Every structure is written in C-alpha cells, then in structure tokens.
Amino acid sequence: MSVNLEHYLIVGAVLFSVGLYLALAKRNFVAVLMGIELMFNAVNLTFVAFSRFVRSPNPLDGHVFVVFVITVAAAEAATALALAVLLYRVRDTINVDRIDLLKW
C-alpha cells in the first residue's frame, strides 16, 4: 500500500467540489465565502502535491505559489467580509437570495 500523487489529487478534487457546492448553493453570504476558502485550500493542496511528486528543476516553486495564494486569499477574505458587513448595514440581510437589485 502506498500513497502517491493521484490520492492527493482526488482529495483536492473532492474538496474543491464541496467548496464549489457551498459557494453556489448556500444562502448566507458568509457561507458562500467559506466555500471559496475551501476551494483555495483544495487548489493549494494540489499545488503542494505536484511540487512533491512531479519532476521539475525547481520543485519548491509550488510552495512559493501556495504562499502567494494564501496571501491573496487572506486579502480576499478581509475585503469580502468587510463587504458582507457593509451589505448587512445597507440591506439588513446577508441572504444572497434577497440581494437582487440588478434583477430588474
């Protein structure tokens, strides 16, 4: 029994799909953001798995990418949650079903 690249890629794929479902289907804005964070995590996991297993002259470049992704994800989380709070102040709800100003 051994663990290799495919195992990690499948874990990453499952994690990504769960995050995608959360981001698409949840009603609460914060839950949508949680889905997006899970997707970031899945992508990071895939990066690190590739950097561990795949032939490459600079194998640690994958880790550098992950560091950048984490940085951007942190910035994204801060801004998006500020948006959630602002949305709540203006519209009194963070239910994405009811944020439909552009519908008409």
State whether residue 55 is helix, strand or coil: coil
Task: Return left, alpha or beta for 95; rule: phi > 0 is left, psi -120 to 50 is alpha, else beta.
Answer: beta
Q: Is residue 43 close enough to count as binding other proteins by CB under 8 A? A: no
From 23, 31, 25, 63, select the one nearest 47 (Cα to Cα). 63
State whether residue 28 is helix, strand or coil: strand
Q: Is residue 58 close enough to count as binding other proteins by CB under 8 A? A: yes
State whether residue 72 is helix, strand or coil: helix
Closest distance between other proteins and the C-beta of residue 102, in Å? 16
Show the binding pattern over residues 16-35: x = contacts other proteins (CB under 8 A), - = does not: xxxxxxx-xxxxx-xx-xxx
The count of residues in the chain is 104
Kindly tell me which of 96 and 102 has the beta carbon lying closer to other proteins.
96
Closest distance between other proteins and the C-beta of residue 101, in Å? 13
Closest distance between other proteins and the C-beta of residue 80, in Å? 9
Q: Which of residues 65-104 bind other proteins (CB under 8 A)?
A: 66-68, 70-79, 81-86, 88-90, 92-97
